[in-house]
Structure 1
């Protein structure tokens, strides 16, 4: 039993090392150890195994590591028919061209949302959205959509989360969720990021299950509330079309 525990722990630590590369292309042994919270000796052994299996590659000149070819081989076998970020990309690009702002697609993962796809605006001044970013469910238009249209138990978990920011009034947030459900979309102005605004709508699949939140975002001075309200029906139209493409 003890050997099994050690094996599982090694797997978890190896996965933690791979997750260190979520937002950074290259990392040194020291940087990986700090991010993963592991001793350098442990990280060194795991890096050797991951490199041997092709999950990581080491740059001999810089002694830094990056993701290896094996991950790309695995990702090539993802089922395109089941992955919204793949299936919906053409529609996201079309929406970007119609509204001329950055378009993002978010899904809920526990008490966070993850940006699984993004198409950047072509405008010179734009909001750059990083794919893979994890954000809290307490603020932002897409957060409100993912919570407002989720099951009651999910809403209860969010409101009772120990990480709930003391500065955010739960009563105000609850009232915002009610308004989102009533109007079918959510807006935010500088809630999470100074100078940024966003409008978001839910995406349901053909079984009418909430799959994602679709959003456009940009500079707040280019997206006043009145303009976002005018754009909401366009987003809802795109979301309805996207939902028909998902199982």
Structure 2
């Protein structure tokens, strides 16, 4: 199976801006792979929409599924560049760590971050991956999925953990109603996190922005200040992504 995936990627890597279509004989010559293997891999890719075959000359080109994935990737890049100035301003005003997250299956992944300049701070790395059901950053993403997608993921979480997630379901309903979430020590002991969703022009949740720091810096007054600061930043980012709060 691993060898088949490796060969698949080798075939896909042959496509370039100068060579947008390939014949089986060209792939065989370039990679020294048996024709039967090449045909099987191309057939699998074609069935998935990743490859299209020209019936007239029997050459293969990249399919529409790659365009879809490329569009998602470009959207994420634009999303990050739009959010970054607001993240920097939020970090400056709050003196806390700010992170940008997206959902990936049952995980949330950090795709951008601004570190707090204070000595005691939350440590975050771009690329960090954590379970979506633990902590503010993941829960806000899960809570703002369409109902059917949220339920599907919660059912899978229940299956993985081997027990019902009644409290998680209750938390998600409350989070969606409030429009943000605030946690203390839920994933990292001694820390707090505030997270809000980010919406694109279609009103879909594209990611989340999180403000996090040590609980020792919290007071009731500062907690309220940081929540308002985070929510306003999230709204500014969403507006710049084309979302209208008047809808």
Matches within 5 A, 1:26-65: none
Distance 1:182 1:162 in 2: 22
Flag the 1:197–1:235 CA change in 2: closer, same or farther, 3 A: same
User: Which residue of structure 2 aligns with residue 238 of structure 1?
Assistant: 233
Matches within 5 A, 1:215-226: 215-223=210-218
Task: Decide which structure has greater helix share.
Answer: 2
Distance 1:101 1:204 in 2: 23
Distance 2:155 2:121 in 1: 35
Distance 1:191 1:6 in 2: 37
Distance 1:131 1:146 in 2: 17
Distance 2:101 2:8 in 1: 26
1:164 Cα offset (Å): 5.7
Any idea what the Cα deviations from partners look like across 1:139-180, whole Å, max 9, x if unmatched?
Answer: 101111101111112211222115766498611111111211
User: Which residue of structure 2 aligns with residue 120 of structure 1?
Assistant: 115
User: Which residue of structure 1 aligns with residue 175 of structure 2?
Assistant: 180
User: Which residue of structure 2 aligns with residue 110 of structure 1?
Assistant: 105
Any idea what the Cα deviations from partners look like across 1:85-131, whole Å, max 9, x if unmatched?
Answer: 22221111011001110000111011111001100001111111100
Distance 1:143 1:104 in 2: 12
- State how many pairs are aligned: 180
User: Which residue of structure 2 aligns with residue 207 of structure 1?
Assistant: 202
1:212 Cα offset (Å): 0.8
Flag the 1:173–1:228 CA change in 2: closer, same or farther, 3 A: farther
Is the 1:201–1:232 contact (alpha carbons within 8 Å) kept by the matching residues of 2? no
Structure 2 residue runs without a partner (length 5+): 11-72, 243-247
Flag the 1:13–1:180 CA change in 2: closer, same or farther, 3 A: same
Question: Relative to structure 2, which stretch is displaced further, 158-167 or 125-134?
Answer: 158-167
Distance 1:115 1:81 in 2: 12
User: Which residue of structure 2 aligns with residue 17 of structure 1?
Assistant: none
- When Rg is computed on C-alpha atoms for both structures, the one with the higher figure is 2
